[in-house]
Every structure is written in C-alpha cells, then in structure tokens.
C-alpha cells in the first residue's frame, strides 16, 4: 500500500512537472521549456529511470514511449538537439527573411511519428519569428503510436500555437504509419500546401517498409506538397531518406540529402552537466505539385 501510494505520488508529480514545462513553452518558448524538462529529469526522473534502463526499454527511443518519465528522459536527452536541427533545416529550406505582409493561407502540417511534436514546435517557432501569420489557418495532423507522447504533443502544439496569431487546428491520430495510411488516406483538408515532416523516423524499419505506400499517399494529395526530413547521421537514416526520395520520383529537390551540424547547449545525462555540443544530422527537402485530374479524383473517391 505504501509502495502504491508512493508510485501514485510520483505519477502525479511527473504530470505536474510536465504541465509546468508546457506553461514555460507557452510563456517563453522552447528553450525555457527544455530547461524545465531538464529540471524535472534532474530533480526526480533520474532516480527511477537511469539512462541505461531507458535505452534498453525503448530501443533508444525507436519504440513508442509509454510513460511521462520516459518522455521527460527523451526530451532531456534529445529534445534540444532535435529541435535545433529541425529549426536549422526549416530556416535553410524556407529562408530566414521576415515576411511582414499578411497573406491568407491554409497550410496542412503532417508530423509523422511526431513523438512529443518537436518538429511541429520548430515549425511554429519559425513562423513566430519570420512570418506574419494572422491570416493563416494551420491544420496539424499528429500521427503517433504512443498515446502518452501524443497527448503531450497535442498539449505542446496548442501551448506553442497560443504564441502566434494563426488559427490552429489540431487533428490527432493514435496509430502507427501503416494504420494512418490505411484509414485516413484522404483526410487532409483542402489547403494552399501541405507540409510533411519526418523528424528522426525514417530510420525505423517498420516505416521504411511502408515507404512505397507512403509515397503513393503523398502523390494522391491535391496541390503543392513539401517534404522535410531530418535525422541524426546514422546509416539507417540515409537509407530512409534515399528510399523516400527515390520512391517519390520526379520531384523538385529543394535540399538534397546532405550532412549538416548545429550547435546546442544540452544537458548530458551521462555526465550530469550541461555541455556545448555539435549535433550532426542529415536532411532533405522535396517539393512537388499533384494535379489530380478528374480520373484521379474519381479513383480516390471510390
């Protein structure tokens, strides 16, 4: 009974720490959110979930996470470098000039294997910095097999959205990629363009296996499409990026598969202190326009 009460208390404490970090995101942006997550890890989580256990339980975060403790550990370990890498790639692909004119646009954003939505947060942060989005509608489609991280993703995207003027709509899909493609293949709203975000997921074998179906899905969405894919410099990531690029065929390559590096201040859980690190990544940006003729549209509707 005492052990049960203690476990209950720990779960409640984790949820409170998570809520506090989300408030920091809303009030001050990603850096302060990351600091709050590190604070939660250092004050509590490291005692019950050492790195080696986390790495073993989650196959180094490739399998869906199943507790807030794991989510806090993930963010402490990788959150800042993933955010900085994705931000750097968005800046590179979309440019770093400020757009002050209020244009009316509807944009779909699909975050595949979103985890805690780090890629979507990087995109929102980019929009906050560079784009007058008062007449934007942003439809987020968050696809993730872990309910724990999907709940966090929805919370964080809504908190971050309150920092910008756009109308933001969040759709959540508690499923793996195969399930999303099978069940929801034509559910994106009509939009000026659709952004497809792949952040640290194209190295996952189950995702690589389904790239041909993914590619058919991407080619069946009407209008302008942009694919942004980023991952650490592991050979499996290069393979995933290459497979997706080849599978999509004749697209405009905005950013070919390239190595890059960003500098981040991260908390090292193995040496228990903050350190300046170079996060090395591989990135890709592809654009294409699908003009679905009447026959294509009939096929999709059938």
- Binding-site ranges for ligand SAM (CB under 6 A): 61-62, 64, 82, 113-115, 118-119, 144-146, 149, 176-177, 199-201, 204, 206-207
Task: Name which of 89 and 201 has its Cβ closer to ligand SAM.
Answer: 201
How near is the Cβ of 75 to ligand SAM at its closest, in Å? Answer: 8
Strand order in the sheet with 167-173: 167-173, 136-143, 105-112, 193-199, 223-232, 273-290, 252-268
| Minimum CB distance to ligand SAM smaller for 114 or for 160 | 114
Instruction: Give 236's contacts (C-beta < 8 A, 6+ positions apart).
Output: 203, 208
CB burial string 262-279: b at 16+ within 10 A, e below: bebebbebeeeeeeebeb
Name which of 107 and 144 has its Cβ closer to ligand SAM.
Answer: 144
Taking the complex as a whole, the smallest distance from the CB of residue 300 to ligand SAM amounts, in Å, to 23
Nearer to ligand SAM, 6 or 63 (CB): 63
All residues at 6 or more sequence positions from 176 whose CB lies less than 8 Å from its CB, including other chains: 145, 206
Instruction: Report the candidate in 166, 183, 262 with the shortest Cα–Cα distance to residue 217.
Output: 183
Task: At 165, list the tokens.
Answer: 């003027």
**Min dist. Cβ of residue 206 to ligand SAM (A):** 4
Bridge-partner residues for 131, per DSSP?
99
Question: Minimum Å distance from CB 190 to ligand SAM?
Answer: 25
45/65 with CB nearer ligand SAM? 65
CB atoms inside a 10 Å sphere around CB 244 = 25
| Closest separation in Å from C-beta 81 to ligand SAM | 10
d(CA 31, CA 174) in angstroms, rounded, equals 27
CB of 175 to ligand SAM, least distance (A): 8
Please give the span between the terminal C-alpha atoms of the chain, in angstroms, as a whole number.
57
For ligand SAM, the closer of residues 132 and 247 by Cβ is 247
Q: What DSSP state is assigned to residue 185?
A: T
């Amino acid at each position: 009974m005492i052990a049960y009460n203690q476990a209950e208390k720990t779960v409640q404490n984790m949820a409170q720490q998570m809520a506090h970090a989300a408030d920091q995101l809303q009030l001050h942006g990603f850096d302060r959110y990351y600091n709050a997550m590190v604070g939660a890890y250092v004050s509590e989580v490291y005692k019950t979930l050492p790195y080696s256990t986390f790495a073993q339980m989650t196959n180094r975060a490739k399998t869906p996470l199943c507790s807030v403790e794991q989510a806090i550990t993930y963010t402490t370990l990788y959150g800042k470098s993933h955010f900085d890498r994705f931000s750097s790639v968005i800046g590179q692909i979309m440019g770093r000039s400020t757009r002050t004119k209020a244009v009316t646009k509807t944009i779909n954003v699909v975050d595949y294997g979103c985890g805690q939505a780090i890629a979507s947060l990087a995109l929102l942060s980019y929009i906050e910095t560079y784009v007058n989005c008062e007449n934007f509608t942003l439809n987020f489609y968050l696809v993730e097999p872990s309910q724990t991280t999907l709940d966090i993703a929805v919370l964080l995207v809504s908190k971050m959205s309150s920092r910008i003027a756009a109308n933001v709509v969040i759709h959540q899909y508690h499923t793996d990629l195969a399930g999303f493609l099978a069940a929801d293949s034509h559910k994106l709203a009509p939009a000026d363009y659709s952004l497809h975000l792949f952040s640290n997921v194209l190295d996952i074998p189950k995702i690589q296996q389904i790239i041909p179906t993914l590619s058919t899905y991407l080619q069946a969405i009407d209008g302008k499409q942009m694919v942004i894919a980023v991952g650490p410099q592991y050979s499996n990531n290069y393979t995933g990026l290459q497979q997706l690029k080849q599978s999509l065929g004749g697209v405009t390559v905005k950013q070919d598969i390239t190595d890059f590096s960003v500098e981040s201040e991260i908390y090292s859980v193995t040496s228990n202190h903050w350190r300046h690190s170079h996060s090395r990544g591989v990135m890709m940006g592809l654009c294409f326009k699908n003009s679905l003729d009447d026959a294509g549209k009939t096929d999709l509707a059938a």
